[in-house]
Amino acid sequence: MKILIVDDNASLARGLKNFLEEETHECLIAGNVRDGIDLIKANLFDLVITDLQLPDGKGLEIIAAARQSEATPVPEVILMTAFGTVESAVEAIRLGAMDYLTKPVSLEEFSFRINKISAIRNIEVRNEQLQRQQMQLLKMADMNTELGDIAGSSSAIIEVKQLIQKVAPYPSTVLITGETGVGKELVAKAVHNLSGKSDGPFVRVNCASIPETLFEAELFGHEKGAFTDARQSRQGCFEEADGGTLFLDEIGEVPLNLQAKLLRALQEKEVVRLGSSRARKVDVRIVAATNRNLEEMVEKGSFREDLLYRLTVFRIHIPPLRERIEDLAEICTSLLEKLSLELNRPRLHLSPSAVDSLQKQGWPGNIRQLKNSLERAAVMADSSVLEPAHFGLSATRSPVASIISNEEPAAENGLIEALEALERRMILAALEKSSNVKSRAADELKIPRTQLLYRMKRLGIED
């Protein structure tokens, strides 16, 4: 054990020190209250032996300091005095002393008390170790639960999970990149749930869906009367996420003229509501995501370079499904478990031929497209086993690829006409496949929904 002796009797202190060191203990000496408290603050002792009467105070102060030590577990205390009274003994025990000895104490008795405390100390230390191990196991269980939603065991997705585990405990800003439908929000939630702010809110903002005129008010809030429809004051997303995580999805869609205000909010951790001049502090973890190449946007002048630097403190890239097709069966199992509950069906699973068929598809829409296909197949199937026929997908190539290869545009029509004809067929195929759900069709075509609506209008394609 590491032991501190606080006694103004130098010869007694040295004698005890020599005796304890012969018993293989490490020992330090202080001659007064001030020096004793300083040593307690600077060291992690297992035991403190203190006299009651000291030149600059009482040993009771040493007891109090020992019980406030940063050592884990806190040191035990033996109070020794030549002026033993019932009152001082009671006060010593009340303050946390483990033992009370009246001077003079025989070395035999002293050795018995020290060995007793050493045995107790060993048990306490072992209990602390077991508790830490248990907490670590619980933490790992929680981590595995959170990461369990990110299905797959390929080297690519294992690297993603390792990055999540690495960054989650820290307040660093995280940028998640990857194609549409790869599961960026799932990763953002895992970062939040494994962080120190997991008890706080997780607020998602789709930057692409906010009109430019309302962007500032949506993010930073507004005061009553700040604009025509502002009938009352309202918090923005930054304030709503205070104490938690703000997930800025599709960060590449933030208008250039508003990026400076967003950068200031990220750097200063404060926001100013529209119509107000008062800055409000916010404690927010920022996680952003995009399917766009922000570096290219910086080169083209549509994204601020300083904002990019601020967002990419830590980057997590999620590979597309086609680059980790070996994960498909595991992903399907995870998705089908949830679908079974949502559809109130017996547990759904894929036949081996269905797995093989699905692995041969292109999946340009990634996991989101896969989930939609599984849901359609589950509705079509009369049993709990999903077969290739339930998916309505080619066993070798995606529907869009089939259209391109089976119906090539005639060259004599001219390049523009041929491209428009091909574009029309691809859009119609995507709309048919998605049951005319525009967002799903846009995901299939790997373009924003707004781009799909524009192209449908230009080509005269009606619902």
- Residue that has been written with the tokens 């990149």 in this structure: 177
Same fold, 2-124 and 322-459: no
The token pair that represents 145 in the structure block? 């639960």
The token pair that represents 260 in the structure block? 């400076």
Per-residue pLDDT tens digits for 132-146:
666 555 454 444 445
Residue 283 pLDDT greater than 90, yes or no: yes
Amino acid at site 103: K
Buried b (16+ CB within 10 A) or exposed e, 440-459: bbbbbbbbbbeebeebbeee
Per-residue pLDDT tens digits for 410-442:
445 566 667 777 888 888 888 888 888 888 888
Per-residue pLDDT tens digits for 21-51:
888 889 999 999 999 999 998 888 889 999 8
Domains of the chain, by residue range, sit at 2-124, 149-319, 322-459
The token pair that represents 143 in the structure block? 């981590």
pLDDT at position 297 is: 94
The continuous run of DSSP H or E covering 300 comes out as: helix 294-300
- Residue that has been written with the tokens 């373009």 in this structure: 447
CATH number of 2-124: 3.40.50.2300
Residue 6 pLDDT greater than 90, yes or no: yes
Residue 262 pLDDT greater than 80, yes or no: yes
The fold adopted by the segment(s) 149-319 is Rossmann fold (3.40.50)
The class that CATH gives domain 322-459 is mainly alpha
pTM: 0.56
> Taking the CB of residue 57, how many other CB atoms lie within 10 A of it?
14
Residue 235 to residue 243: CA distance in whole angstroms: 14
109 versus 95: the higher-pLDDT residue is: 109
CA angle 410, 416, 419 (to 5 degrees): 65
Residue 361 to residue 88: CA distance in whole angstroms: 83
pLDDT at position 85 is: 63
